[in-house]
Amino acid sequence: MLAGDSSASSEELMIGDWKVLIYDRAGRDILLPLFSVAELRNLGITLHLLLHSDREPIPDSPAVYFVNPTPENLQRISRDLKEALYESFELNFISPIKRDKLEDLAQASLSSDSAHLISKIYDQYTNFVSLENKLFILRHQQRDAMCYYNLNRNTITDSEINSATDQIVDGLFSMLVSIGMVPFIRAQCGGIAEFVAQKLDQKVRDNLRDSRNSLFQQDAGALTFNRPLLLLLDRNFDLATPLAHSWTYQALIHDVLETGLNSVTLNTEEKKSSYDLSEMDSFWMEHRLLPIIPNVAEAIHKETEACTREESAVKDLKKGMDSDNVDLEDSTNKLTNAIESLPQILERKRRANAHTTIATSILDQLKLRGLQALHQAEDKIRHGGRPDKAILDMLKDESIGEPDGADKLRLLLVYLLSNESVAESVDSLESPLKEAGIDSAAVSYIRKLQVGISSNSKNESKSGWGNKAFNLASTFHKNIIGSKNQVKVTRALDQILTSEADEYRYFDPKIMRPTESMPKSKQPISQAVVFMIGGGSFIEYQNLMEYEESRKQDRLGGQNISVIYGATEMPTPSDFLKYLTKLGNESI
């Protein structure tokens, strides 16, 4: 789309025509994690602007549009065509444009005598945001329709459910088209995950039926011999993990700092600073999944010292050139090499300084909120152990948590969600929070879900997907057996890869006439996509990456597995707590 001729070299691309890139907010979110300003410039993009901003005409420059085919966007494109803002218009639609909308656009361009300006029109099937090679979400902005709160509120209508699931299916279909493979689909039974699986299964099958226009013909071998597994889960499957306090670098940044799409913003008394955390940052990619203490802190110290030594070596070399006893040829070669390496050294130093600033901000929050004690207690609770300090005592401890009580509320919810029965009275545990004026409606919501496990089907039907999905998730939890260091999502994937796992529905879009009793494929799985409907967690992402690595190091000869993690969104733990609180207040 941006490069034009994909076989051209970067030098050839830079020499080619300069272009203007026009995107809407969804298009900006998709491109932002993938391209830096310098990379866009290397692709010939001299200017990039929002579609609905005030834009001046540039009649001698071609324009590349990357937008959703919404009525508002198409109306603005028609206006741009009428005003002939650019030399030519290449229209790239994030999701497929419907025929009637395309005809309306064609009619508008004919009416304004501007049809000749349209050079190309593409359906790109890129309706998802790729944060990393193995991490994606469907939305960053305008994600309310598919957030956990909306999918589980009592007042959600059938039309709203259908609209939300259609958006999820469109995003997953785009992801499958991008990787070019038809998956085996497994889905958590009885809830929204199964509903999405049924729709996605049918959408892929319908596309495969049209063999002339199928989107899955790029690599015919991959369609048959290297098919991935797509595991669809509902967030109710595990409500504790997105609330838990983590101890790893990436998850902590997401929890305690202000983050964007692969970026973090720090507010200090002096100024507001933003730092990119992209795959171009080798230090970030190597250490993002490691504990902040001691691993990341020590690595930052070593990286800073190494950059300082290398910078000093260059300066010492310059001083040595002033000596009378110097081998001119040898010193010249050394100085030339040093000058060539200096930009890389300075860039490494800049990134090391950035990580020092970020890590310092995290450590300040760790001390201020007592997050180490919270993490250690929750980690033991989630893996079946008992914390060193009684939960009630921690809830009363004024040195732990934020002043608004969110950290303590998260601790209590993790405790309740991780134990089918608690020794203490829930009211007594909730009492310290209420006395401090903390809204604990989320506790009421969780208790209602737990009561719903034993309620009759009539009561379950009154709360959307919530009670039914929570009931099934509790059943799955009893059946999932795995390492105590694995979160539920990882254990579910491991169960499906190593056993029949009949509690998960099976779909195969390549079977043109599927039946309920069709046999499951025995093909070895080497790739898996785990997708969480209702919001993901960086703790789950980290755990799946550790699981992938453990399979590689398995000396028993187990099948290696490459795992991709996706979610409708990646809410912060605070945002997810707000969803539960809002649901709790509405259920009172």
Among 123, 31, 117, which residue's Cα sits nearest to residue 80? Answer: 117
For residue 354, the model assigns a pLDDT of 94
**Cβ-proximal residues to 309 (8 Å cutoff; 6+ apart), any chain:** none
- Write down the domain spans for the chain: 10-124, 130-238+471-587, 249-369, 388-452
- The residue that leads in pLDDT, 465 or 534, is 534
Burial (CB count <10 Å: 0-12, 13-18, 19+), residue 295: middle
Give residue for tokens 């040595």. Answer: 320
> How confident is the model over 439-451, as a mean pLDDT?
89
Model confidence at 420: pLDDT above 90: no
Q: How far apart are CA 567 and CA 562, in angstroms?
A: 17
Assess contact for 537 and 242: CB atoms under 8 A. Answer: yes
> How confident is the model over 80-97, as a mean pLDDT?
96
Model confidence at 416: pLDDT above 80: yes
Cis peptide before 294 (omega within 30 of 0): yes
For residue 459, the model assigns a pLDDT of 45
Residue 82 Rama label (left phi>0; alpha psi -120 to 50; beta): alpha
Query: For 513-530, how does the pLDDT look when each residue is reduced to its tens digit (9 = 90+)?
Result: 888 778 888 888 999 999
Model confidence at 222: pLDDT above 70: no
Question: Which has the minimum average pLDDT: 208-217, 242-251, 276-285?
Answer: 208-217
Question: Which has the minimum average pLDDT: 348-352, 415-419, 553-557, 558-562?
Answer: 553-557
Question: Which stretch, 16-25, 90-99, 394-403, has highest mean pLDDT?
Answer: 90-99
Query: For 356-383, how does the pLDDT look when each residue is reduced to its tens digit (9 = 90+)?
Result: 999 999 999 999 999 999 999 999 998 8
HSE (side-chain half, CA atoms, 13 Å) at 32: 21
Question: Which has the minimum average pLDDT: 125-139, 332-346, 491-505?
Answer: 332-346
Task: Give yes or no on whether 10-124 and 249-369 have one common fold.
Answer: no
Task: Calculate what percentage of the chain has a pLDDT beyond 90.
Answer: 65
For residue 512, the model assigns a pLDDT of 87
For residue 14, the model assigns a pLDDT of 47
Q: Which CATH class is domain 130-238+471-587?
A: alpha beta
Pairing of strands 504-507, 135-137: unpaired
CA distances from 335 to 292, 322, 326, 327, 449 (A): 38, 12, 12, 12, 69
Model confidence at 324: pLDDT above 80: no
For residue 13, the model assigns a pLDDT of 47
For residue 464, the model assigns a pLDDT of 54
Model confidence at 337: pLDDT above 80: no
Facing residues of 63 across strands?
20, 89
Question: Which has the minimum average pLDDT: 53-57, 170-174, 221-225, 284-288?
Answer: 221-225
Q: Which helix H or strand E contains 338, and what residues bound it?
A: helix 328-369
Amino acid at 293: I
Question: Which has the minimum average pLDDT: 121-135, 434-448, 506-520, 563-577?
Answer: 506-520
Q: How far apart are CA 534 and CA 196, in angstroms?
A: 12
CA distances from 529 to 230, 233, 254, 299, 566 (A): 5, 11, 22, 31, 7
For residue 338, the model assigns a pLDDT of 66
DSSP 218-243: S-HHHHHHSPPEEEEEEGGG-SSGGG
Q: How far apart are CA 71 and CA 77, in angstroms?
A: 10
Confidence of residue 221 (pLDDT cuts 50, 70, 90): very low
Q: How far apart are CA 464 and CA 158, in angstroms?
A: 10
| Structure-block tokens of residue 423 | 């020794």
Assess contact for 151 and 533: CB atoms under 8 A. Answer: yes
Model confidence at 42: pLDDT above 80: yes
Model confidence at 401: pLDDT above 70: yes
Model confidence at 576: pLDDT above 50: yes
Pairing of strands 258-259, 263-267: antiparallel
Among 325, 336, 586, 253, which residue's Cα sits nearest to residue 444? Answer: 586
> How confident is the model over 334-349, as a mean pLDDT?
76
Task: Calculate what percentage of the chain has a pLDDT beyond 70.
Answer: 85
Grouping H, G, I as helix, E, B as strand and the rest as coil, residue 2 is: coil
For residue 450, the model assigns a pLDDT of 79
Question: CATH second-level architecture of 10-124?
Answer: 3-Layer(aba) Sandwich (3.40)
Model confidence at 454: pLDDT above 60: no
Model confidence at 301: pLDDT above 70: yes
Confidence of residue 588 (pLDDT cuts 50, 70, 90): confident
Pairing of strands 184-188, 504-507: antiparallel
CATH placement of domain 249-369? 3.90.830.10
Mean pLDDT of the chain: 86
